[in-house]
Amino acid sequence: MLDRFHRHLVSHGVTIANFDSQHIDAFWRKAEALSYAPGTRTRYLQLLDRLCRYLVEIGVRNSNPAADLAGDAGWSGQSTVPLFLPEDVDLRLQDFVRTYRGSDVSGLRLRAVVALFLGAGVTAAEGRAATVHDLQFSCDAPYLRVAEGRGKPARTVPLEPFAVSALAAWKARREMLPIAGSLLFALRASGKPVTDMSLGNLVRDAFAEIGHEAPDMSPRILRNTYCRRALLAGVPRERVSQLLGLASNHTCDRILATIRKGSQQSIQPPN
């Protein structure tokens, strides 16, 4: 999230040390931000409020332009309820990923993108940075190797069974495409990483294919669904946090709270 906002600041010629509330307002008007759910906006304001308060404390900034905006959003210090897919929609997306028998590039890429987020629980930034070498299928338990970055240690994430065939098919096809570099998902020819907007558009395309609409149709909701599926299956929250690359159990605790209020039905867990 901070990376997206920082790129926005750079495009406006300002830094985290001197941006103001007008730059936050301009961020909401960007094409990508127009689709953000209220909870996503609240998380952004929480992040910016904490960041600016810290920068004021250490003398980098003189004011916190996010303070009033966070207050207007009704932030009371409590986290918003995390968004995730209903279990039946999760299963429909799994089936959408697993049953494709076509060979066109767009179809293979679409299902591989969904498989990566829904079947490995990575962040959008980690998906953009993944390489073909990070996917390993030569063992009994195929896995994704996630590189260290953004304060997260390197980790190995076993792929959910439904995601294996789609990712293996895409890896084989990707290695044949005339694209520079080794990024798993890259812009044609240049080899540069795909944008967050492009990944979000692909996820929305997948939702359209199965006829479902959600308040948040981004890689985040697929990651949260992966997390909730594992917790429903009885995987310890410490292990789930490790698979997600999280330093604390806060996210898992928030999603566990939704399970205690709802269904206890189990879905296939990650290994």
Strand extents, DSSP E, the chain: 135-136, 143-146, 155-158
pLDDT at 74: 38
pLDDT at 150: 55
The pLDDT of residue 169 is above 50? yes
- Give the lowest-confidence range in 32-41, 48-57, 105-114, 127-136: 32-41
pLDDT, the chain, mean = 86
- Residues 96, 227: one domain? yes
Q: Is residue 118 part of a domain?
A: yes
Instruction: Give the burial string for 23-35 (b: 16+ CB within 10 Å, else e).
Output: ebeebeeeeebee
pLDDT at 204: 93
- Residues 34, 113: one domain? no
CA–chain centroid gap for 40, Å, is 12
The pLDDT of residue 269 is above 70? no
pLDDT at 235: 97
Pairing type for strands 135-136 and 155-158 reads: unpaired
Domain enclosing residue 194, as ranges: 87-261
pLDDT at 124: 86
- Residues 10, 109: one domain? no
- 7's tokens: 């790129």
In the sheet with 135-136, reading across from the earlier edge strand, the strands are: 135-136, 143-146, 155-158
| Boundary-marking domain end, from 72, 104, 129 | 72
Give the tens place of pLDDT for each residue, 239-267: 999 999 887 788 898 899 999 875 444 34
Tally of domains within the chain? 2
Q: Is residue 108 part of a domain?
A: yes
pLDDT at 69: 67
